[in-house]
Amino acid sequence: MKKKIATSLVGMSLLIPLSGCGTDSNHNSLQISKDVEFGEQDYEKIITPNNELGFNLLDEVEKDDDGNLFISPTSLLMALALVYNGADGVTKEEIAIALQIPEMDATELNKANASLMTMLNKATDGIQLQVANSIWLNEDYRFQDDFAKRAKDYFNAEIQEIDIASDDSPKRINNWVKEATNGKIDKMVEGNLDENLVAMLLNAIYFKGDWQYPFDKRLTENRTFHLADGNKINAPFMSLQEKLSYMANSDYQAIKLPYADGGMSMTIVLPNDLKKFESDLSAESWEKIQSGMKKTRVEQSFSRNSNLPMKRS
């Protein structure tokens, strides 16, 4: 007889933000159940919590050897929201605090998540954005029926039972990751699974977007790139002159680069003092950057190393 997971997930929960961009994908990752109801704008309830979670993560996640840091707070929010449905007592309270949603119950959170996934999932000309969730469950256990139903209905989560001692299980997990990221990540599990594993949660976000204003390759040229430690290197810089959302003050410059029809964009900030900017960064300061931008004709050039010299025309 299988053991029943009653009110919480035990063992190892692997919360992994994945992101990729590359060739076209046929992976249809979104099928929110028709049996659940949610408002089209319900996702707005978790915009601020999602941003707060992201900025809190900046202080917790270590940079790589090159000083770079890449996080996906939305991936973590979805994974924790899924766990929230199976938590109780102190664990549930702590997850709510981490998610910045102490007054939100599981049903309200689930509706907001379903709304967010629907809003994010795009397959339009110039943009592909897909969201996928999965739970890999030790076959010696099973979830309560209501938890499994909510996971499938609101999160479109695939629940796969696996033999953790089998050599085939890591392959199945890695194949799911490869498909969900359109081949950009082909291995998440190395070697055999932990013998104490009960459940593994995975979230994958795949994004591919064409610039609304493409960079002309003929304008790319090598320039001096200034590193945070004061050193300089030679790096290729892309250039663009266009009317874009832009702002500047005594502390930083910021610009917004739209994708495709402008429904999505990348915000890039060039601070004068990187350490100070990082320490001051919050959901409130981020909103100040967004609301302070105005359409301005800008001449910009930046390297893929993330430096962004800009000037108004």
Residue 1 has pLDDT above 70, yes or no: no
Does the pLDDT of residue 4 top 70, yes or no? Answer: no
| Statement to judge: residues 113 and 162 lie in one domain | yes
- CA angle, residues 265, 266, 267, in degrees to nearest 5: 120
Question: Rounded CA gap, 3 and 170, in Å?
Answer: 22
Same domain, 155 and 68: yes
Q: What is the mean pLDDT of residues 136-152?
A: 94
Task: State the average pLDDT for the chain.
Answer: 83
146-191 per-position pLDDT tens digit: 999 999 999 999 999 999 999 999 999 999 999 988 898 888 898 8
Six-digit token string for 289: 């950057």
State which of 179, 209, 239 marks the end of a domain.
Answer: 209
Q: Mark whether 136 and 233 lie in a shared domain.
A: no
Residue 265: what are its φ and ψ, rounded to 5°? Answer: -155, 165
- Domain end among 189, 209, 229: 209
Phi, psi of 293 (to 5 degrees): -80, 140
Q: Is residue 272 domain-shared with residue 163, that is, in the same domain?
A: no
Q: For the ranges 13-17, 99-103, 290-294, 305-309, which has the lowest average pLDDT?
A: 13-17
- Return the pLDDT at 151: 94
pLDDT in tens, 255-276: 999 999 888 899 999 898 888 9
Domain end point (choices 165, 180, 209): 209
**Residue 31 confidence (pLDDT):** 62
pLDDT of residue 58: 85
For strand 232-248 and strand 252-259, is the pairing parallel, antiparallel, or unpaired? antiparallel
Q: Which domain holds residue 238?
A: 217-312
Residue 10 has what pLDDT? 27
Mind listing the pLDDT tens digit for each residue in 241-252? 999 999 999 999
Nearest-angstrom CA–CA distance, 164 and 277: 45
Structural domains of the chain, count:
2
Res. 280: pLDDT tops 50: yes
Span 28-69, pLDDT tens digits: 445 677 788 999 999 999 999 999 999 888 888 888 887 788
Same-domain check for residues 131 and 227 = no
The pLDDT of 14-18, averaged and rounded, is 29
CA dihedral 68, 235, 306, 299 (to 10 degrees): 180
Please give the C-alpha separations between residue 187 and each of 133, 155, 207, 226, in angstroms, as whole numbers: 16, 23, 18, 34
Are residues 163 and 230 located together in one domain of the fold?
A: no
- Are 172 and 279 part of one and the same domain? no
Query: Do 116 and 85 have their domain in common?
Result: yes
139 with 223, same domain?
Answer: no
Domain harbouring 261, CATH code: 2.30.39.10
Mark whether 50 and 110 lie in a shared domain: yes
Residues 51 and 177 in one domain: yes
Q: Are residues 161 and 34 in the same domain?
A: yes
Separation of alpha carbons 15 and 22, rounded Å:
23
| CATH number of domain containing 67 | 3.30.497.10
More reliable by pLDDT, 304 or 57: 57
